């Protein structure tokens, strides 16, 4: 199994959206038995919570399931457990680097999947309120990531 972990700050807005969208694309490609996806936050404030209403609304509108998804905090173990760690912004990367095992682990920046986009970080909709923008970036970036995984690992 190839494993992907999306990481943001709270694990209620961006990374759960990416988890749900990526899982949906994996299912559409018939790759459920090959790739697993999870998400986590560097912060601990929302542990155990369902995705934010803004994320749920967007996913509902695209008929993408987020059933059973609950926020959790990222930990050192995740550097061992996951093949791909994908962080939503620079502060997420910096926070991951501070964890034991994070100094020299490979961490992808989500927006590096979309080199033609002007934005270099996925904006935090918890503060901007713009969940549509985040969905657009995540949908496009997950297509690129899935292509990349299929080329690199399948
Ligand atoms: P996320 O958004 O990192 O995309 O889940 C946030 C959610 C909560 C907070 C910050 C960002 N917060 O400060 O509680």
pLDDT tens by residue, 16-32:
999 999 999 999 999 99
Domain count for the chain: 1
Record the pTM: 0.98
Q: Which residues line ligand 1 (CB under 6 A)?
A: 8-14, 41, 45, 124, 126
Catalytic annotation present for 14: yes
- In angstroms, the CA 22 to CA 4 distance is 9
CATH of the domain at 79: 3.40.50.2300
8 part of the active site: yes
- In this prediction, residue 13 has a pLDDT band, given cuts at 50, 70 and 90, of very high
| Per-residue pLDDT band at 45 (split at 50, 70, 90) | very high
Range of the domain at 89: 2-153
Q: Which of 7, 12, 90 to mutate to test the pocket of ligand 1 (most atoms within 8 A of CB)?
A: 12
Question: What number of CA atoms fall less than 13 Å from residue 75's CA on the CB side?
Answer: 7
Percentage of the chain lying above the pLDDT 90 cut: 99
User: Residue 79 Cα, ligand 1 centroid: separation in angstroms?
Assistant: 21
**Nearest to 22, CA basis, from 32, 8, 33, 13:** 32
The answer for 9, left when phi > 0, alpha when psi is -120 to 50, beta otherwise, is alpha
Q: Give me the half-sphere count of Cα atoms (radius 13 Å) on the Cβ side of residue 40.
A: 21
Ligand 1 centroid distance, CA of 48 (Å): 14
* Residues 78/81/84/89 CA torsion (nearest 10 deg): -10
| Long-range contacts (CB closer than 8 Å, 24 or more residues apart) made by 102-106 | 102/76, 105/79
Which of 58, 126, 128, 137 should be mutated for ligand 1, with most atoms under 8 A from CB?
A: 126
Distance 43 CA to ligand 1 centre (A): 8
Q: What pLDDT does 76 receive?
A: 97
Which amino acid residue places its CA nearest to atom 12 of ligand 1? Answer: 10
Contact 3, 40 (CB under 8 A): no
Of the pLDDT bands very low, low, confident and very high (cuts 50, 70, 90), residue 50 is very high
Residue 153 has pLDDT above 90, yes or no: no
Q: Which sign does the torsion angle of CA 122, 98, 43, 21 carry? A: positive
- Counting from 1 in the atom list of ligand 1, the atom nearest the Cα of 17 is 4
Residues facing residue 4 across a β-bridge: 37, 84
Give bridge partners of residue 110 from the DSSP assignment: none
């Amino acid at each position: 199994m190839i494993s992907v972990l999306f990481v943001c700050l709270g694990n209620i807005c961006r990374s759960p959206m990416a988890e749900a969208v990526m899982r949906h694309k994996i299912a559409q490609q018939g790759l459920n038995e090959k790739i697993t996806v999870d998400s986590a936050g560097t912060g601990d404030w929302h542990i155990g919570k369902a995705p934010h209403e803004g994320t749920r609304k967007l996913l509902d509108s695209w008929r993408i399931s987020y059933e059973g998804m609950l926020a959790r905090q990222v930990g050192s173990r995740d550097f061992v457990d996951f093949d791909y760690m994908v962080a939503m912004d620079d502060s997420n990367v910096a926070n991951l680097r501070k964890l034991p095992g994070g100094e020299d682990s490979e961490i992808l920046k989500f927006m590096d999947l979309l080199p033609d986009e002007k934005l270099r970080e996925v904006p935090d909709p918890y503060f901007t309120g713009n969940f549509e923008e985040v969905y657009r970036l995540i949908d496009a970036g997950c297509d690129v990531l899935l292509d990349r995984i299929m080329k690199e690992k399948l």
